[in-house]
Amino acid sequence: MFRGIQYSIYALLLLCVSCAKQQQSSTPDVRCDFSADSAYAYIAQQVAFGARVPGSEEHVACGDWLVKKLATMGAQVQNQYGTMINYAGESQSLRNIVAYFEGTTQNAILLCAHWDSRPWSDEEEHYDDRFAPVLGANDGASGVGVILEILRQLSILKARGEMVPSVQIVFFDCEDMGTPSHYTGLERPHTWCLGSQYWAQQYIQHSPIKLQYGILLDMVGDPSATFPREYFSMQYANGYLEQLWRSANRLGYGRYFVPSTTYYPITDDHYYVNTIARIPCVDIIDYKTNTETGFAEWWHTQQDDMRNINHQTLQAVGETVLTTICSK
């Protein structure tokens, strides 16, 4: 993901006229089961493969494991292979993992995260350390782990005969292939989020599934995580964003899903889901106002490992999302 410039609340209000059209529903009083321990284990299993750099053996092995795991939870799974142009103007192969879980609703909800990890630690202080790949426990694996646990809980509810939403899950590849800081060649646009760009293009051309709205999870394991309302999420999917933030506050997670008066546009996978696929999509992403990058101090460094994954944060995010999508 890539941080953009900040926008004031006044500019934002001018861009959110369409939000009133989006469906809003009340959050139920009951809490949905979600196991942070299980989500944590799913994250650890991804990290155990090593850095999931596209094209590497670790990337292939983790992708195969994700496909099998999704299938064991009752989802229909496909590998979506494609090619995009990367930051250097070269062809970049990618593998999106797409799964459909049939619930009891006609329109499905999109749950998505990226499953690759960055090939370079280009935020390391020392130059020579910037060429090692990032393990990506938080930046990538955390969102995938939470979604896997959400799917596990939905499969349990479905087996009990309860009403559950239909869900389209997409694990995007090549999100973190954006231009590295050490690159000195021609600067090209849209070098981040290649997998979601490809998926969105294919969705509008070929998908028979109608997706009502989407939720993107990115970097959702940090012990000190805060999730402010992100600018593009408010512009394109404000009704769904507010529903999520209301759920979080009712569940007691207001210290994570924080109020905002300044909104930051982040180039993340949700941007292309919104603008190309035209599916209203909310980005739940940890954003810092006290760091130079806008993200954790160990973002895109060798310190993005399991030491920075917190059970309480996973619980807050997972329970909030699960409660929201299961609301009647």
- The per-residue pLDDT for range 25-81, each reduced to its tens digit, is 444 445 679 999 999 999 999 999 999 999 999 999 999 999 999 999 999 999 999
Distance CA 274, CA 144 (A): 20
Region 135-158: what's the mean pLDDT?
97
- Dihedral of CA 237/238/243/244: which sign? positive
| Contact in structure between 47 and 141 (CB atoms under 8 Å) | yes
pLDDT band at 10 (very low <50, low <70, confident <90, very high): very low
**Among the ranges given (27-41, 229-243, 252-266), the one the predictor scored with the smallest mean pLDDT:** 27-41
Q: Give how far Cα 253 sits from Cα of 257, 312, 318, Å.
A: 6, 10, 11
Nearest to 66 by CA among 34, 38, 96, 40: 96
Whether the per-residue pLDDT at 230 is higher than 90: the answer is: yes
Region 260-286: what's the mean pLDDT?
95
| Contact in structure between 40 and 141 (CB atoms under 8 Å) | no
Q: Tell me the CATH number at 214.
A: 3.40.630.10
pLDDT of residue 129: 93
Nearest to 299 by CA among 231, 224, 241: 224
Nearest to 143 by CA among 74, 103, 106, 97: 97
pLDDT of residue 65: 98
pLDDT of residue 7: 46
For 199, phi then psi, to 5°, come to: -60, -45
Per the structure, the count of domains in the chain is: 1
Whether the per-residue pLDDT at 229 is higher than 60: the answer is: yes
The range of the structural domain enclosing residue 200 comes to 2-325
In the block, which residue shows the tokens 């993005």?
304
Give the three-class secondary structure for 87.
coil
pLDDT of residue 6: 44
CA dihedral 79, 203, 321, 328 (to 10 degrees): -120
Give the three-class secondary structure for 136.
coil
